[in-house]
Structure 1
Amino acid sequence: MFTKNDLSVLGTNIVYLKPVATADLPDDVRAQAGDLTTLFAVHNTMGEQVALVASEGIASHLAAEHHMQLVTLH
Structure 2
Amino acid sequence: MNTPYEINTEGNRIVYVKAVNVANLPHEVRTQVGDLDHLYAVHDSDGQQLALVADRKLAFVLARQHDLSPVAVH
Q: What TM-score results when the alignment is normalised by the length of structure 2? A: 0.78
Runs of at least 5 residues in structure 2 that lack an aligned partner in the other structure: 1-10
For these two proteins, the number of residue pairs brought into alignment is: 64
Aligned identity (percent) is 48
Q: What TM-score results when the alignment is normalised by the length of structure 1? A: 0.78
Higher helix share: 1
Counterpart residue number, 1:51: 51
Q: Encode CA deviations 1:21-48: one digit per residue, 9 max, x unaligned.
A: 1111111101111110001111011111
Runs of at least 5 residues in structure 1 that lack an aligned partner in the other structure: 1-10
RMSD: 1.3
4+ long deviations beyond 6 Å: none
**Larger gyration radius, structure 1 or structure 2:** 1
